[in-house]
Structure 1
Amino acid sequence: MPNSKTADLPEELTQSRHLEQNVYFYSLGRKFVDESYDVPEEAKQIMYYSLAIGHHLGVVDCLDAVLKCSGHEYLEWICGLDQSGEAFRKMKGFLVFGEITIYPEHLNMLALAFDRIDSSTQNEKSQQLTSGFIDALGAIHREPTMYMMIRGGR
């Protein structure tokens, strides 16, 4: 479904198998330590130490879908970005790899890039995605241990 925004894109994006999927934007809702099995005390100490230094050994992340669109809607949405910019490069990763992760270090770059899009050039779905995405980035900014994962699915 090529349009004027997608006509000059590389084939790896316009012919991506991920265009035929739904795109889910998952945000970390909560984390917990999986203690459903009997862990020896020595191993528990290692697990808690790893948590203290920032590793996630034994931690289960609970992700909630905060946004959803089709692959074609996703492509049209990200085409509102400067296609030579870092934000476009980051976001096109979904179409190349089928998944991207957004961490706190990506927040400013992405929020600024999506905020610069002239909403009059976007359709209603792209406007909703931009607004919802910026809101989700704001939640990560307020709680830096959060992150977002964008993945395809049915």
Structure 2
Amino acid sequence: MSEAFTELAQSRHIKGHVYFYSLSRKFVDESYDVPEEARQIMYYSLAIGHHLGVVDCLNAVLECSGEEYLAWIKGLPEDSEAFRKMQGFLVFGEITIYPDHLNMLACAFDAISSDEQSEMSMRLTKGFIRALTAIYHEPSMYMMIRGGQ
């Protein structure tokens, strides 16, 4: 095992579960009595893309253990941008995948030979590419990978 994988295997984030959340919907939380002037600022910020006052609703689309996640990303070349992006979960406990990551990640995971993947890794790859495809078709979506118990 390389030095990078040895360090990642020691991550505190490897002990729990890993959840792949995909944005399912957004809404403006209007349950508060916001003064009209502040409401106009909020709507203006929405129009320019800053999303002040917007609540994102995320649904888990994939799940695995931390060990399964590490085994899955082992199929990526360590010097690749895809590996650096995906190891971020084990370093920081959370990563966000935006539309500008789609092509790089889809190509990298698609290039992993099925002979080199366990059944779980193949399931993760297929589900991950399916979720990336959904983001491709709806660019305002994103994915968040976070740990939990």
When normalised by structure 2's length, the TM-score is: 0.98
- SS class of match (1:125): helix
Listed as ranges, the gaps of 5+ residues in structure 1 are: 1-6
Give CA deviations for 1:83-139 in whole Å, capped at 9, x if unaligned: 110000000000000000000000000000000000111010000000000000000
- SS class of match (2:45): helix
Shift of residue 8, structure 1, vs aligned partner? 1.1
Identical amino acids, percent of aligned pairs:
74
| Aligned counterparts of 1:122 and 1:12: Cα–Cα separation in 2 | 21
Shift of residue 14, structure 1, vs aligned partner? 1.4
1:99 is aligned to 2:85: no
Shift of residue 9, structure 1, vs aligned partner? 3.7
1:8 is aligned to 2:13: no
Partner residue in 2 for 1:52 = 47
- SS class of match (1:35): coil
1:143 is aligned to 2:134: no
One-letter amino acid of the counterpart of residue 63, structure 1: L
| Aligned counterparts of 1:78 and 1:54: Cα–Cα separation in 2 | 32
Give structure 1 regions of 4+ aligned residues with deviation exceeding 2 angstroms: 9-12
Listed as ranges, the gaps of 5+ residues in structure 2 are: none
- SS class of match (1:83): coil
1:73 is aligned to 2:72: no
| Aligned counterparts of 1:104 and 1:52: Cα–Cα separation in 2 | 19
- SS class of match (1:101): strand
Partner residue in 2 for 1:61 = 56
* Contact 1:12 1:96 survives alignment (8 Å): no
Give CA deviations for 1:9-48 in whole Å, capped at 9, x if unaligned: 4243110011101000000000000000111111111000
One-letter amino acid of the counterpart of residue 74, structure 2: C
| Aligned counterparts of 1:9 and 1:135: Cα–Cα separation in 2 | 31
| Aligned counterparts of 2:3 and 2:128: Cα–Cα separation in 1 | 23
| Aligned counterparts of 2:3 and 2:136: Cα–Cα separation in 1 | 31
When normalised by structure 1's length, the TM-score is: 0.94
- RMSD over aligned Cα atoms: 0.7
One-letter amino acid of the counterpart of residue 115, structure 1: D
The count of aligned residue pairs is 148
- SS class of match (2:58): strand
One-letter amino acid of the counterpart of residue 67, structure 2: H
| Aligned counterparts of 1:84 and 1:100: Cα–Cα separation in 2 | 18
